[in-house]
Structure 1
Amino acid sequence: MSPLRSHGLRSDLMVLRGLSVVEEHLDRVVVRTPSEPDFWFGNMVIFRDDRIEPDAQIARFRKDFPTSRHVTIVWDAPALSNAPALERFTALGFEIDRSDVLTLEGLSNPAPVPPGIEIRPIETPEDWEQVIALQIETGIEAGHLPEIHAPFVRKRFANHRKQVAGGRGCWFGAFDGAQLVGDLGIFEGEGTARFQDVETRESHRRRGICAALVSVGLNWARRRAPASTPVIVAYTEGNAGRIYRRCGFTLSEQLLAVIRPPDGAKAT
Structure 2
Amino acid sequence: MLVRSLGLTTELALAATRGTVTDRGDYLVVETPDDPGYYHGNVLVLPAAPQVGEVAYWTRRWGGELGRNKAIKHVTLWWDGIAGDVGAAAELTAAGFQVTTNQVMVADAVEAPQGGFDVRPLAPSEISATADLAWANGDRHDEPYRQFLQRRAAWQHALVSRGAATFWGGFDGTELVASLGLVPVSGVARYQDVQTLASHRRRGLAGALLAAAARHALANGAARVVIVAEPDSEASRVYSRVGFRTLERTASALRPPP
Tell me which interval the TM-score lies in, with the shorter structure as reference length: over 0.9
- The answer to whether structure 1 residue 190 and structure 2 residue 194 are counterparts is no
For 1:210, what is the secondary structure of its paired residue? helix
Q: Could you tell me which residue of structure 2 aligns to residue 86 of structure 1?
A: 89
Identity %: 31
Kindly state the Cα deviation for residue 124 of structure 1 after the two structures are TM-superposed.
5.4
Corresponding position of 1:266: none
Which letter does structure 2 place at the counterpart of 1:57? W
Per-residue Cα deviation, 1:127-174 (whole angstroms, up to 9, x for no partner)? 33321111122222xxx3533321111111100110111111100010
Q: Distance in 2 between matches of 1:194 and 1:181?
A: 21
Alpha-carbon distance between aligned partners in 2 of 1:112 and 1:189, rounded to the nearest angstrom:
27
Q: Are 1:30 and 2:29 matched, yes or no?
A: yes
Q: Does 1:95 align with 2:91?
A: no
Contact 2:15 2:21 in 1 (8 A): no
**Contact residue 184 and residue 196 of structure 1 kept, 8 A:** yes
Structure 2 distance, partners of 1:262, 1:101, is: 27
Looking at structure 1, the residues matched to 189 and 6 of structure 2 have their Cα atoms a distance apart, in angstroms, of 11
Return the alpha-carbon distance in structure 2 between the equivalents of residues 58 and 145 of structure 1. 30
- Determine whether 1:107 maps to 2:125: no
What does the per-residue CA deviation read over 1:166-195, in whole Å, with 9 as the maximum and x for residues that have no partner? 111100010001111100000003211000
Give, in whole Å, the separation in 2 of the partners of 1:111 and 1:35. 37
Q: Distance in 2 between matches of 1:238 and 1:80?
A: 16
Letter in 1 for 2:123: E
**Number of the residue aligned with 2:7:** 8
Q: In the alignment, what sits opposite 2:212?
A: 216
Aligned to 1:122: 122
3-state DSSP class of the match of 2:29? strand
Deviations 1:67-108 (A, max 9, x none): 22110001102224334x22122122211111111111x333
Contact 1:50 1:80 in 2 (8 A): no
Correspondences of 1:163-182 after superposition (within 5 Å): 163-182=159-178
Q: Which runs of 5+ in 1 are unaligned?
A: 264-268
CA distance in 2, matches of 1:24, 1:12: 15
In structure 2, the CA distance between the partners of 1:64 and 1:167, relative to structure 1 (3 Å rule), is same
Mapped to 2, the partners of 1:221 and 1:65 lie a distance apart of 35
Do the aligned residues in 2 keep the contact of 1:184 with 1:195 (CA within 8 Å)?
A: yes
Query: Which position in structure 1 is the counterpart of 2:79?
Result: 75
Number of equivalences = 253
Q: Distance in 2 between matches of 1:150 and 1:205?
A: 23
Partner residue in 1 for 2:203: 207
Q: Which residue identity lines up with residue 242 of structure 1 in the other structure? A: R
AA aligned to 2:19 is: S
Q: What's the CA shift for 1:36?
A: 1.8
> What amino acid is aligned across from residue 97 of structure 1 in structure 2?
T
| In structure 2, distance between residues paired with 1:57 and 1:32 | 16
Q: Which amino acid aligns with 2:80?
A: D
C-alpha deviation, 1:247, in angstroms = 1.1
Q: CA deviation at 1:250?
A: 0.8
Measured after TM superposition, the shift of residue 25 of structure 1 is 1.8
- For residues 215-264 of structure 1, what are the alpha-carbon distances to aligned partners after superposition, in whole Å with 9 as ceiling and x for unaligned? 011011012114x221100024111111100111111111111101224x
Contact 1:44 1:71 (C-alpha < 8 Å) held by counterparts: yes
| Aligned-partner SS, 2:40 | helix
Which amino acid counterpart does residue 249 of structure 1 have in structure 2?
A: F
